[in-house]
């Protein structure tokens, strides 16, 4: 796929939901893609008394109000982004409704949080549940839309999910700066320091490791058949989440593109609650890309950083000798970012 052909965006008419609609409209314009805007009305939102006597009145009223609001959205989107969207209001559980609709789209766009007057499509954990189960790339928008993405950060762990993230990031890039990033586990260096290995040997060992990973990143991109000339590559030492957030801030990234394994967020970059931490702490939008269907799941020990274990004196000595040997073999010159406009007007 060289471009997105169909986009699905969900809104609950909140500020975040409207930002998601604008971002989706801008992307649809850039890609010449179809845009479908969805709103879900929760049947459980009826008041108990009205639900007892007139079970459909409240649902019908809120559905009509939502459809009117979406029509206003479509008019504004058409004028602002030269895109003619289709609209749809469905009654049902927001998560299940959006998950079913996602099968017809190349990209799903939604706001991080929602507090709309119609029940809020993305209130609570709907967005998080969708991120864990959706088999389409999901773009979570949390910033106002001012321009196309300019700086895109792609943290990788050399898994099949990372490959998919790099591919999708190139579609999002357009004229943006794209940087591939890897956080290096610092356990080995900590072991060397515990073994009282001289600082210059630790430094040379770090340089060699960085050179190897840098070359591996470039080889990975080239192996995917992508052009490296418009990309840059960066490394950092430390925990994946902390390093990624810090680097995104340094880069002034307006989008982070990351992969996920299978139907849940596991792997070297997204482990357990890590995805939630990145989404909650990052100051920019985030695109989560699922592992391709035809890719086998790598074993957990190949993607998850190993836990620190006790190291014997003999192991320390052997590791120190190995580090010294590697350092002697190195040449001396070695280098190593709103206001809601789509809300329905109140009628008197």
pLDDT digits (tens, 9 = 90+) for 48-77: 544 555 556 678 888 899 999 999 999 999
The domain locations on the chain are 6-141, 151-329
Tens of pLDDT, residue by residue over 308-342, are: 344 444 454 554 555 445 444 444 433 223 444 45
**Domains 6-141 and 151-329 agree in fold:** yes
pTM for the full model? Answer: 0.77
Give the list of residues 6+ apart from residue 340 with CB closer than 8 angstroms, or none. Answer: 13, 14, 15, 18
Cα–Cα distance measured from residue 42 to residue 121, given in angstroms and rounded to the nearest whole number: 8
pLDDT of residue 266: 35
- Name the more confident of 159 and 274: 159
Taking the CB of residue 231, how many other CB atoms lie within 10 A of it?
20
Say which CATH topology domain 151-329 has: Rossmann fold (3.40.50)
Confidence bin at 348 (pLDDT 50/70/90):
very low
Q: What CATH superfamily classification does 6-141 receive? A: HUPs (3.40.50.620)
Q: What is the pLDDT of residue 200?
A: 85
* pLDDT for residue 55: 54
Average pLDDT of span 193-217: 88
Residues 20 and 7 sit within 8 Å (Cβ to Cβ): no
Rounded-to-integer distance, Cα 308 and Cα 179, Å: 30
CA distance 221 to 328: 31
Give the span between the Cα atoms of 241 and 181, in whole angstroms. 12
Let me know the angle formed at the C-alpha of 101 by 45 and 338, rounded to the nearest 5 degrees: 65
Strands 231-237 and 86-91, bridge-based pairing: unpaired
Above pLDDT 90, what percent of the chain? 43
């Amino acid at each position: 796929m060289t471009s997105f052909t169909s986009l699905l965006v969900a809104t609950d008419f909140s500020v975040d939901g409207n930002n998601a609609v604008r971002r989706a409209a801008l992307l649809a314009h850039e890609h010449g893609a179809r845009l479908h805007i969805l709103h879900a009305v929760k049947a459980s939102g009826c008041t108990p008394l009205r639900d007892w006597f007139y079970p459909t009145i409240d649902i019908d009223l809120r559905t009509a109000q939502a459809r009117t609001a979406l029509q206003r959205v479509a008019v504004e989107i058409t004028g602002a982004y030269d895109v003619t969207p289709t609209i749809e209001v469905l009654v049902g559980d927001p998560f299940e409704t959006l998950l079913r609709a996602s099968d017809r789209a190349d990209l799903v766009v939604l706001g991080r949080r929602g507090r709309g007057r119609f029940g809020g499509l993305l209130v609570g954990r709907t967005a998080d549940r969708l991120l864990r189960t959706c088999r389409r790339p999901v773009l979570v928008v949390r910033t106002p839309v001012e321009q196309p993405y300019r700086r895109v950060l792609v943290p990788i762990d050399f898994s099949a999910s990372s490959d998919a993230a790099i591919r999708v990031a190139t579609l999002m890039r357009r004229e943006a700066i794209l940087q591939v990033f890897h956080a290096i586990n610092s356990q080995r260096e900590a072991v060397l320091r515990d073994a009282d290995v001289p600082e210059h040997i630790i430094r040379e060992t770090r340089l060699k490791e960085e050179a190897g990973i840098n070359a591996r990143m470039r080889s990975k991109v080239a192996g995917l058949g992508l052009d490296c000339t418009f990309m840059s590559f960066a490394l950092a030492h430390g925990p994946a989440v902390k390093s990624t957030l810090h680097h995104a801030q340094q880069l002034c990234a307006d989008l982070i593109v990351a992969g996920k394994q299978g139907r849940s967020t596991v792997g070297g970059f997204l482990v357990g609650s890590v995805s939630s931490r990145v989404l909650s702490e990052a100051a920019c939008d985030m695109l989560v890309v699922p592992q391709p269907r035809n890719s086998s799941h790598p074993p957990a020990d190949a993607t998850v950083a190993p836990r620190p274990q006790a190291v014997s004196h003999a192991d320390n000595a052997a590791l120190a000798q190995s580090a010294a040997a590697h350092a002697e073999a190195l040449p001396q010159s070695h280098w190593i970012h709103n206001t809601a406009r789509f809300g329905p007007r109140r009628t008197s």
